[in-house]
Structure 1
Amino acid sequence: MYARVSSKEQEKEGFSIPAQLKLLKDYAAAQGFKVAQEYIDVETAKQTGRTSFDEMVAYLKAYPSVRVMLVEKTDRLYRNLKDWVTVDELDVEMHFPKEGMVLSHESRSSEKFMHGIKVLMAKNYIDNLSEEARKGMQEKAEQGIWPTKTPLGYRNIIGPDGKKIIAIDTAVAPIVAKLFDWYASGGISLKEAAKKAQAAGLVYAQSGAKVPASTVHTILRNRLYTGQFEWNGKLIQGKHEPLISIDLWERVQGMMDGRHAKKFKRGKHDFAFSGLIACHACGCAVVGEIKKERYVYYHCTGYADKCQGNPASCRRRYVREGALEAQFTELLGRLKFDDEVLAWVREALHASHADERREHEEAIRRLQGEHRRLGDRINAMYVDKLDGRVDGAFFDKMSAEWRDEQNRCLREIERHEAAEQSYMDEGVQILELARNAQRLFERQEPRQKRRLLNFVLSNCTWEDGEVVATFRQPFDLLAETAAIAARRGTGNTANSAKSDIWLGDLDSNQD
């Protein structure tokens, strides 16, 4: 069994590890399962590499007799598509007690499709959380507060108002300031500046390792040391104390630009399919290049021997960009489906969201209760302040903290209230994207074409002049439905095709 929380807020909203484990153990007992191992992660799943998740995957690969996995719900197991693929390759039977779902290779296509929709929704949820974090960082930056981890020379502290700010690290800041003076003199290189800084005692605070030349380069390019900083393309006057003058920083930039001007090189062309396709023969990347200053051709890089001087013969084969584009257009055309399928999936989305809706309603009630309790605390402390039982400074400090918590509750309530409709909207948007993928692809610029193909297709290879690709889930089911319906014709036969794909074979107890 596997349990995970990714934030303190989820602990407060009832997603705690003990609550998950209790639910899973009760379910295992009811189903007659013996629990072989328990795995717990308390961290974000935005990136792959969770410790316990990786250990669980290794265990399931090592013990083929253990073929059942228990997880509270879909978004507890994975929040990114790579984890989805990893779990799918394990060939295990997955039980999600809170969603009432059991998924295996024998599951109906409709169940696999709905599971795929939930995985995409979970990925979108964590992306939305990241967007909210970015908004918070932007707001903090606009107030003149550096919103992220500090560079060498500064440290993060808690300010008088209880908010995180940055302050000078007295142990390191003098060396950083001297670093700018040394380089501005014009007599030393980056490597020499790094050696002088190391000799002066500039090391990483946690590891104690010496600071390399690459970090010195980053320090010398960082405007934060002047008391200003750039955030999302905007120059902001910070509230922190500067280490150096703006004039000194600009002199250093001038010297660095002069020394490295000839080394900057940017590509002139953005090829639509570069980095998207691999050569079937040797596995190398297929890249684009311009011939006669106007025609775009793609070819295999051909260095399967890692550039040891023996390029593969497939390196000399070229294909026009137009030919690749036509093949990708044909592939995306396989996703077309009718309004009947769209209506069925809308209904299925509504049904699958019942458990989610109940959880959102419960979370809203908890948050509303917490908001009221915090308000009662503020009112009670205000009375104590009037009666002289607490001083004004303590009241101001505590009331500010509690109002921040109230604001957090209100933000979470708004998110939960919007979640139900956004789930439906986003699910339908995925379906609309599939249905209109071919038309969108034909009209987009190269970068957007590449993004669309990456979202819908996987494992693209170039084989004997043809593009071979696999549709990602759940787009593969949509393509399969459309293909079978097209082969069987129209009318009731086509409807039967959709039933075969989505519903599978009914057992003898069903009509």
Structure 2
Amino acid sequence: MNQNERERRHAALYVRVSSRDQEKEGFSIPAQIKLLQCYASEAGFNVAREFSDVETAKQAGRTGFNEMVAFLKRSSACRIVLVEKTDRLYRNLKDWVTLDDLDLEIHFVKENVILSRDSRSSEKFIHGIKVLMAKNYIDNLSEETKKGMLEKAEQGIWPSFAPLGYLNVEGPNGKRIIEPDPAVGPIITRIFKWFGTGNYSVRDVAKKARDYGLIFRKSKDPVSHATVHKILRSRIYTGDFDFDGKTYRGTHTPLVSIELWERAQEVMDHRFEKRHRKVKHDFAFSGLVECGHCGCSLVGEIKKGRYIYYHCTGYKGKCPEPYTREEVLEERFAGLLKRLKFEPDVLAWVKDALKQSHADEKREHDEAIEQLQAEYTRLQNRIDAMYVDKLDGRIGAAFFDHKAAEWRAEQDRIQRRIQQHQTANQSYLDEGVQLLDLANRAHDLFQKQPPNEKRRLLNFVLSNCTWKDGELSAEFRQPFDMLA
């Protein structure tokens, strides 16, 4: 393609930061746009549109990303996307599949990679590994957030948004705490008193609460009986709270006594004990396979007390698919997983490619850590200088305590961010190799796992599983489809 033809090619730019913190760490929107514009100019592309997002990609549905997808679907002239690197474009698998269906040419500028439908299978496979690593990275960030919440819980502070009846406020030490809502708190107390008498159902109590004016905080809609049920089960109104499977002694003001809360639990348990059904069996493939005749699910059923058979639910009418023994399905799935096998030389090549990718990733994390450490030192210098001012009488003790607490909280946040980058540095390569080893050992693992783990493994590797006339068909998820 000559230069004149390239000049007529249009490209869309996409930039994203996953949090305001990244704005401070050198990943800002303007910095990304400048990089991509320079690249477009050098490559001779016309920039048709620019799209940006400042939010997490834990869930698909980003505004700028969706606008770009809609634009690319409308515009046949623009089939090129320019982006800084893999985790700027998509950090979950749904985004990857969405763009893959559009037949685009995607330039990952910092990674020096261009992907299109004509790219080699090895390039696509390595790219798939990077997407999975990006998804794993944001999962790691979620874990770090959870650690911070756990620290607050251990201090007796409710670590999330205030439930109905409470408000989020700033405590005396600068930490966010909860305190009773003067308007809603008394209604919550009444809810427990009404239900504790045993004379009202949850629906009755919900109606009385609505009559007293209980509404949702944001939508202003009247509360539902399901919300009242949740309130009655929530321990937080006693002054204690449950978080991450443990009960903590809270420091906030209770709205009901422990005795009243326990009375409400007794009433609730008595009302529902006859309606509770326990799942007796954990079938390995229930809900995993669709019937190829009608699209309904295949479900497990025990016959003669010990044999497990699968059959179509028949929700759409009588289905011709006969019952199938679990052993037959297991044999078919095992046969599919057996196709996931690396030759030793291929495995070594892919691991080398991952190491090269890891070097680029490590350099970027190191740069971010250096900037964060500089920011930490700057804040410490501020605290030290302000302490001297306090000793010299230029500022008061109260002002010093307030500002020092604010800056130390910021230092704590910086330390957590440094730890996140260090963890990502250490785990990127190890987890990539673990992913490859999983693919290589999938067949052996499958045969040794209990039913729930078999289902989890199959869900990770396969999709669109159907059973028809005794034959199993399934698709391998990316990047495993490159290996099968």
- TM-score normalized by structure 1? 0.90
Alignment of 1:188-267 (within 5 A): 188-267=200-279
Aligned-pair CA distance for 1:220: 1.1
Who is 1:392 aligned against? Answer: 397
Q: Distance in 2 between matches of 1:317 and 1:458?
A: 23
* Residue type of the alignment partner of 1:212: S
* Residue type of the alignment partner of 2:192: F
Q: Distance in 1 between matches of 2:424 and 2:221?
A: 46
Who is 2:184 aligned against? Answer: 172
SS of the residue corresponding to residue 38 of structure 1 reads strand
Equivalent of 2:130, from 97, 103, 118? 118
Who is 1:361 aligned against? Answer: 366
Aligned-pair CA distance for 1:128: 0.6
SS of the residue corresponding to residue 2 of structure 1 reads strand
Q: Distance in 2 between matches of 1:114 and 1:357?
A: 17
CA contact (8 A) 1:69 1:93 kept: yes
SS of the residue corresponding to residue 298 of structure 1 reads strand
Aligned-pair CA distance for 1:113: 0.9
Who is 2:283 aligned against? Answer: 271
Equivalent of 1:470, from 456, 459, 475? 475
* Residue type of the alignment partner of 2:251: K
Matched, 1:440 2:452: no
Matched, 1:138 2:150: yes
Aligned-pair CA distance for 1:212: 1.3
Who is 2:319 aligned against? Answer: 313
Aligned-pair CA distance for 1:424: 1.1
Q: Distance in 1 between matches of 2:421 and 2:145?
A: 17
Aligned-pair CA distance for 1:419: 2.8
Who is 2:6 aligned against? Answer: none
CA contact (8 A) 1:179 1:197 kept: yes
* Residue type of the alignment partner of 2:225: A
* Residue type of the alignment partner of 1:22: K
Q: Distance in 1 between matches of 2:475 and 2:219?
A: 45
Q: Distance in 2 between matches of 1:64 and 1:264?
A: 56
Deviations 1:374-431 (A, max 9, x none): 1111111111111111111221222222223223333333333343332111111011
Who is 2:63 aligned against? Answer: 51
Who is 2:81 aligned against? Answer: 69
* Residue type of the alignment partner of 2:66: D
Q: Distance in 2 between matches of 1:418 and 1:178?
A: 48
Who is 2:455 aligned against? Answer: 450
The runs of 5 or more residues in structure 2 that have no matched partner are 1-12
Equivalent of 2:418, from 396, 405, 413? 413
Question: What is the RMSD of the two structures over their aligned residues, measured on CA atoms?
Answer: 1.4
Who is 2:331 aligned against? Answer: 326
SS of the residue corresponding to residue 461 of structure 1 reads strand
CA contact (8 A) 2:85 2:111 kept: yes
Q: Distance in 1 between matches of 2:82 and 2:331?
A: 44
Matched, 1:151 2:157: no
Aligned-pair CA distance for 1:460: 1.1
Aligned-pair CA distance for 1:172: 0.6
Q: Distance in 2 between matches of 1:218 and 1:455?
A: 32
Equivalent of 2:430, from 418, 425, 433? 425
Q: Distance in 1 between matches of 2:45 and 2:368?
A: 30
* Residue type of the alignment partner of 2:301: E
Of 71-80 and 229-238, deviating more is 229-238
CA contact (8 A) 2:235 2:261 kept: yes
SS of the residue corresponding to residue 47 of structure 2 reads coil
CA contact (8 A) 1:282 1:312 kept: no
Q: Distance in 2 between matches of 1:340 and 1:266?
A: 50
SS of the residue corresponding to residue 263 of structure 1 reads coil
The runs of 5 or more residues in structure 1 that have no matched partner are 305-310, 480-511
Q: Distance in 2 between matches of 1:301 and 1:271?
A: 15
Query: How many residues end up aligned between the 2 structures?
Result: 472
Of 263-272 and 345-354, deviating more is 345-354
Task: Describe the shift of the 1:86–1:255 C-alpha distance in structure 2 as closer, same or farther (beyond 3 A).
Answer: same
Who is 1:381 aligned against? Answer: 386
SS of the residue corresponding to residue 236 of structure 1 reads strand
CA contact (8 A) 2:144 2:420 kept: no
Q: Distance in 2 between matches of 1:447 and 1:157?
A: 43
Aligned-pair CA distance for 1:63: 2.2
Who is 2:10 aligned against? Answer: none
Who is 1:492 aligned against? Answer: none
SS of the residue corresponding to residue 49 of structure 1 reads coil
Q: Distance in 2 between matches of 1:412 and 1:165?
A: 23
Task: Describe the shift of the 1:36–1:302 C-alpha distance in structure 2 as closer, same or farther (beyond 3 A).
Answer: farther
Aligned-pair CA distance for 1:124: 0.4
Q: Distance in 2 between matches of 1:237 and 1:43?
A: 34
Deviations 1:348-386 (A, max 9, x none): 112223332221221122112112111111111111111
Who is 2:3 aligned against? Answer: none
Who is 1:60 aligned against? Answer: 72
Moved over 4 A (4+): none
Q: Distance in 2 between matches of 1:462 and 1:286?
A: 8
Q: Distance in 1 between matches of 2:229 and 2:419?
A: 44
CA contact (8 A) 2:309 2:325 kept: yes
Equivalent of 2:312, from 300, 305, 325? 300
Q: Distance in 1 between matches of 2:413 and 2:252?
A: 26
Who is 1:490 aligned against? Answer: none
Of 410-419 and 182-191, deviating more is 410-419
Matched, 1:26 2:31: no
Matched, 1:401 2:399: no
Who is 2:7 aligned against? Answer: none
Q: Distance in 2 between matches of 1:475 and 1:35?
A: 34
* Residue type of the alignment partner of 1:313: C
Deviations 1:186-233 (A, max 9, x none): 222222211111111111122211111111111111111111111223
Q: Could you tell me the percent identity over the aligned residues?
A: 63
Aligned-pair CA distance for 1:276: 1.0
Aligned-pair CA distance for 1:58: 2.0
Q: Distance in 1 between matches of 2:436 and 2:217?
A: 50
